[in-house]
Amino acid sequence: MALRNLRYEGDEILRKKSREISVVDDKIRTLLNDLVETMYAYEGVGLAAPQVGILKRAVVIDVEDGNVYKMVNPKIIEKSGEQDGQEGCLSVKEKKGIVRRPMNVTVEYTDENGKQVTLKAQELLARAICHEIDHLDGILFVDRVKK
Ligand code: CO
């Protein structure tokens, strides 16, 4: 595994749309593991591939619920409720803001072994999933901060 260099707000790559991953191979597994290592090194709860300059639909999340989620091509298929909460981002230094997100989401993704997973998430995990998927579409949390 290796640490990857973070990209910061103002870098054009953070505003681009990431591409679907067609096959989960060793290269993608290495990317996922590097994302996890980089997330922990910077004490984040999630990290998306474009934040290390890779425009592929891969994200990792650890909100301390006992799991490290490695998601390829994650897609929210259901959402309900609302929550307002503070967010920050490793790519947006020294800024925090209140963002409204769904309280519950159901996400479909491919895991590191190429298996299809359907996950129901609430609260902080639901928020993290929404935040990381936004990165894959070139959206930063600051775009969604309530005025
Ligand atoms: Co972020």
- Residues 109/28, Cβ–Cβ less than 8 Å: no
Return contacts of 120-124, CB within 8 angstroms, 24+ apart: 123/83, 124/45, 124/63, 124/65, 124/85
Tell me the per-residue pLDDT of 75-109, one tens digit each, with 9 for 90 and over: 999 999 999 999 999 999 989 999 999 999 999 99
Q: What are phi and psi of 145, to 5 degrees?
A: -65, 135
Select which of 12, 20, 87, 132 is catalytic. 132
- Catalytic residue check, 132: yes
- Amino acid symbol at 94: E
For ligand 1, the distance from its centroid to the CA atom of residue 113, given in whole angstroms, is 25
Indicate whether 146 pLDDT > 90.
no
For ligand 1, the distance from its centroid to the CA atom of residue 124, given in whole angstroms, is 14
Q: Is 55 helix (H, G, I), strand (E, B) or coil?
A: coil
Tell me the per-residue pLDDT of 39-67, one tens digit each, with 9 for 90 and over: 999 999 999 999 999 999 999 999 999 99
Tell me the per-residue pLDDT of 4-13, one tens digit each, with 9 for 90 and over: 999 999 999 9
- How far apart CA 29 and CA 103 sit, in angstroms, is 30
Q: What are phi and psi of 133, to 5 degrees?
A: -65, -35
For ligand 1, the distance from its centroid to the CA atom of residue 24, given in whole angstroms, is 23
For ligand 1, the distance from its centroid to the CA atom of residue 26, given in whole angstroms, is 25
DSSP run (H or E) holding 88? strand 83-89
- How far apart CA 22 and CA 24 sit, in angstroms, is 7
Burial of 26: CB neighbours in 10 Å, binned 0-12, 13-18, 19+: exposed
* pTM listed for this prediction: 0.97
